[in-house]
């Protein structure tokens, strides 16, 4: 078991965590050239003999927490967190742990090493990749392609038409400000909420309903759009 102990705080000094090891445990260190991305920024190298290890400050050195190892972190407030290392960022003084204390609801905890007084290694890494605490979601390429095509169609429909009169452009812009993405072009006509459509010559009388004429929301939308078109045509 490897224990990373912090110095005991006094009234005049802040807690400065450091690392020590027993004679039966090897210390882990890494050089700048041996850093690798599988641990966010770092990976461990061959460990040296524990007799040669000296206490170092875990906030200012290249101490590595191997991915997959299980750690117990004790904060300066004497609270503990146990979890499996997912990754770490030494420069940001952050450690990501997969908390498995609740078997049915695993979660990720981000540990601020600046607030940690002691870190204990409960289990060494087995070298396997740490699985995320969420289940993988199957992705359908066909569904993604269909969604992309629909998004492109909607985007093209929302682009201002250049071959329509200025009056139609003003009506389109005004309706888009009011109803946001529910207004689009249908050829040279303006379709609103899939309920009504404004056809050329873009007057109040050219506002027509789409679908069931007895539908109350459709009729309400038609009356509302007619009022807007009528007011804009008077300007």
Question: Pick from 28, 32, 50: which is nearest to 42 by CA?
Answer: 32
Same domain, 119 and 58: yes
* Strands 56-57 vs 70-75: parallel, antiparallel or unpaired: unpaired
Question: Has residue 128 been placed in a domain?
Answer: no
E-strand ranges in 1-106 read: 2-5, 18-19, 56-57, 70-75, 80-89, 94-99
Q: Are residues 170 and 111 in the same domain?
A: no
Residue ranges making up the domain that contains 198: 162-233
Between vectors from CA 97 to CA 92 and to CA 100, what angle results, nearest 5°? 165
Taking the model in full, what pTM does it have?
A: 0.37
Overall domain count for the chain: 2
Choice among 155-159, 204-208, 223-227 with the minimum mean pLDDT: 155-159
In tens, the pLDDT along 181-190 reads 688 888 889 9
- Whether 77 is in a domain gets the answer yes
d(CA 179, CA 176): 5
The answer to whether residue 209 sits within a structural domain is yes
Residue 69 belongs to some domain of the structure: yes
Which CATH number belongs to the domain containing residue 76 in this structure?
2.30.30.100
Share of the chain above pLDDT 90, in %: 11
174: helix, strand or coil? helix
Residues 6+ positions from 61 with CB-CB distance below 8 Å: 19, 29
Mean of the pLDDT values across residues 159-172? Answer: 82
pLDDT reading at 207 higher than 90: yes
The number of angstroms, rounded, from the C-alpha of 83 to the middle of its chain's C-alpha atoms is 21
Residue 131 placed within a domain: no
Residue 105 included in any domain: yes
Are 27 and 143 within 8 A, CB to CB? no
Residue entry with tokens 């770490």: 88
């Amino acid at each position: 078991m490897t224990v990373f102990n912090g110095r005991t705080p006094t009234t005049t000094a802040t807690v400065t965590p450091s690392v020590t090891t027993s004679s039966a445990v090897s210390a882990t260190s890494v050089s700048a050239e041996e850093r690798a991305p599988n641990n966010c920024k770092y990976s461990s190298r061959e460990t040296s003999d524990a007799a040669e290890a000296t206490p170092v400050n875990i906030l200012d050195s290249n101490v590595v927490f191997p991915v997959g190892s299980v750690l117990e972190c004790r904060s300066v407030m004497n609270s503990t967190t146990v979890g499996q290392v997912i990754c770490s960022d030494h420069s940001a003084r952050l450690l990501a742990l997969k908390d498995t204390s609740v078997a049915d609801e695993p979660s990720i905890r981000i540990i601020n090493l600046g607030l940690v007084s002691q870190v204990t290694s409960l289990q060494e890494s087995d070298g396997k990749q740490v699985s995320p605490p969420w289940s993988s979601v199957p992705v359908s390429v066909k569904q993604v392609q269909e969604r992309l095509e629909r998004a492109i169609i909607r985007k093209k429909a929302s682009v201002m038409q250049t071959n329509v009169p200025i009056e139609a452009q003003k009506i389109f812009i005004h309706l888009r400000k009011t109803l946001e993405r529910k207004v689009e072009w249908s050829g040279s006509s303006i379709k609103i909420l899939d309920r009504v459509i404004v056809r050329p010559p873009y007057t109040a009388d050219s506002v027509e309903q789409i679908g069931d004429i007895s539908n109350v929301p459709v009729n309400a939308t038609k009356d509302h759009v007619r009022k807007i078109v009528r007011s804009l045509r008077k300007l």
